[in-house]
Amino acid sequence: MEFLILLKFTTKEEGDLLKEWFLRDDNAVPPVYLLKPITKYLADSWNDVSKRLIMILRKASEKAAEKGLISQREKHEYFMSGEE
């Protein structure tokens, strides 16, 4: 599972942040990790958190692709904007 591969390329702190914000959906086939809903309580800090999550995922995807654990296409998913 791609999320678990990426976790291997994070620090403990980074991995803990990803695990805090992503939830495994076992109803999907195959299971996937989805971003948890953003509540009004966190709306003010979401911009900072989202930037950090993006940076962690991009760094981990680059390392995983270098090791051949994910494809270049999968890596590209972490570098696309929401508009692509």
Nearest to 35 by CA among 54, 21, 24, 48: 21
- How far apart (Å, rounded) are the C-alpha atoms in residues 40 and 2? 29
pTM of the model: 0.84
- Using DSSP's 3-state secondary structure scheme, residue 68 falls into coil
- pLDDT for 13-63, tens place per residue? 999 999 999 999 999 999 999 998 887 657 678 888 889 999 999 999 999
| Both structure tokens of 8 | 């291997």
Cβ-count burial 1-20 (b if 16+ within 10 Å, e if not): ebbebbbebbeeebbebbee
